[in-house]
Structure 1
Amino acid sequence: MLCFTINVPTNLVSGQDVSPESVRGLRDELFVKRNYTKYSFPVVDHRQTVNVSVGIRMLKIVDLDIKTQVLTLNVYVYMGWIDEGLQWSPQEFGGQTQLVVQSDLIWKPDLMITNGPDAFHFERTFKSTTLSVNSTGYIEWVPQTQLKTYCMTNLRDYPSDEQRCRITFEPFFDIKYVDVKPFDFYKVSTFLFDESPRYPNQEWDVTKVESYRRVDTYVEGSFARIMSFLTIRRRQSIMYYFIKLPTTVAVILSVLMMAFPPNSLKRYQLFVLSLSILLLTELVIINKTGFSGNKGVPLVLRNNAIIIVYISVMIYLSIVINRVFLMSNPWPQLTSAVANNPLLRYIGVGNYLITWTLEEGVQSGIGATINAKVSLTDSQNDWILMTLLLDKILFFSYLLFLITIYT
């Protein structure tokens, strides 16, 4: 059995303890004799403004739900303000300068996260904790809570995307009653200032945290708010390789497919294999990202769709090449001259003026290859050369497209 003992000091003064009688006397003075109430603003003159410093210290990124667009964080929420009803002279209470009390006993600012699903119930997520009260009336409250905020994701670079999420803190009251400002963590401790979460997330890394103050004016009045921006980058997990590796293999197979002549059975076999890999990858991406709420379509999803269109057109053209070679209607003379240009041999359009090898798989479906050779007329060669030329044009445009998206 493992046991822990935690000693929580209830009184602090310049590094030395004070007597329990001084602590009890101070508590009686603040909460009994002065008739302190947590339901009133912590100022003597209610025309004064309560200035509250607000900041967060991340413990862990719990989850970023791409489909619901909700970011969930475990955080410390730092709040600091001056309560004029909790000021005392240390000399009157044995030199005591600090007191630790329950958070339920004193006034606390009503903060809400205006861009979250729990906007009007944010403070209810705070558990009853202790807070520190200084003799000057300055209060430091650092409750731990689970924070949820909406985050509009941009999946253009998925699965290597970076997201910028906004967390907006706003008091319930007008700025003439309660004002907020970003807390300067440099003045407290490096523990609170550290931007990186204490417990890393397996999927996301925090790259930057920023906070700004903004005042918006409405018909009801002016309200100050703290806008914290959290920039996170997706780690290269197994999902990254599960998407990138099959896509790369499918692209290589598609290039090899187009290297085979149109009447080759291997072209059709590689087409089926490449198309199957690309479609499965598309389904995986769609299942992970969903269709709603995202700003951009993943580039890998768009590029795979274009590749599918390219290779489908190539296969269709291959079928056309193998079906129209028996046509007898000649091309116009100008077209025939272009098709028979010797320069076309350098881009893979061979000399088909003598023979054309037939494949049973082309004429009547997938089957065995026969070695029959049929002599062709000039008009038939015109048809074949023009379709082969179009096939090569599509092939080189496909290579150009691949170079463009992968460089």
Structure 2
Amino acid sequence: MAGVCEGQGKGAGRSMTTILVVDDSKFFLSVLSSKLRSAGFSVIGAASIAEARVVLETRRDEIFMALLDLFLPDGPEGEVVDLAISFGVPSVVFTGNYSEDTRDRVLSKRVIDYVVKDDPSSLDYLTSLVHRLDHNRSIRAMVVDDATTARKYIADLLALYQFQVVEATNGEQALQRLADTDNIRLVITDYHMPVMDGFQLIKNIRKTWRRDQVAVIGVSSSGSSTLSAKFIKSGANDFLNKPFLREEFFCRIAMNVDLMEQVDALKAAATTDYLTGIPNRRSFFERAQPLLAAAQRGQAEVAVALIDLDHFKSINDSHGHETGDTALATVARLLVAECRQTDLVARFGGEEFCVLAFNLAGESRDAYFERLRSRISDLNLDFNGQPITLSASIGVSSNVQLGLDGMIAEADQQLYRAKQEGRNRVCWLD
């Protein structure tokens, strides 16, 4: 097999995240606003209903939700709640005075939660609540119940908590919804339903989705003391007896979704390169092995390339490791932008990256990796007024019969060749 080497020298967000905080206590308003800003939210403060009205009339489109002191000088009976609701703003009420009558009156309105600001922990709870509601906006939750009134009640609560809501009238329909709809992470299901009951639904869900992928909470009004155990044994994450308190319902949901997100974060930490945010070597091998096996069975064209930045040590030595880290992150972003969505891009360590690309052969393969090399070479980085240029040597393997390890080994040999023949070039075997 003849070696081929080409190269040339250097010459040739998020939706609305603004929180309206209404409180006549300057100290509390300042402390809460500071905590929210530290958590990444924008804050608009108001000390009265009059000020809040001006904000809502002029800046409603910016506001995600409101945190409202219940008793204000120009609204001693909680009128600020009605104001926020009239503008369609999701609202949480906080107050220093708690009573069952006040709680019942507030929660009878379309208010998310009722928080007593009796100690510093209430500030932490409010901040975590805002975080939870913000995250909920990207999550779909499904309610499964054949009783229209019960289903609509839970669906309305989930919408109040900012979930995207999907409904189903029985287990069979719920399974179809799960299969057809992306990102359903939470299922609330009744037990007694026609076609397929709650137990059978959960057992079928667990054939495809684990507890850390889709959280299932069973609900029932049957009152059986053994029903909760049966739900859990069938694969549910949690269970609630009906009727339930709204606060308990929300806390159970938040606890289960939080747990799934913590598992997601641990998985991401284990499979994502901390510096660049792209997959790491471990993740690359986990994802590439089955893809390559499928390509071998289907006789698809696959190429694996190792990309190593030239003379990178000199950047760290001359400009510092922080500058080097920024350069690596910049190259990672470029590779993700330039590669196709079907390709895998990973950082293997140090200044080395790996790309697995599908359906590339001959001239299209050569042009693809030559373009990546050229894009890296064209980067003009400026750090504190100091221009920095980069180049990369690339080794490519297209022999799928070698398997993944063999292809990487061959690409590594070609990378070494590119270095030996002058760097800033792409080498492969034909």
Would you call these one fold, judging by a TM-score over 0.5?
no
TM-score of the two chains, using structure 2 as the length reference: 0.19
Question: Radius of gyration: which is bigger?
Answer: 1
Identify, as 1 or 2, the structure richer in helix: 2
TM-score of the two chains, using structure 1 as the length reference: 0.20
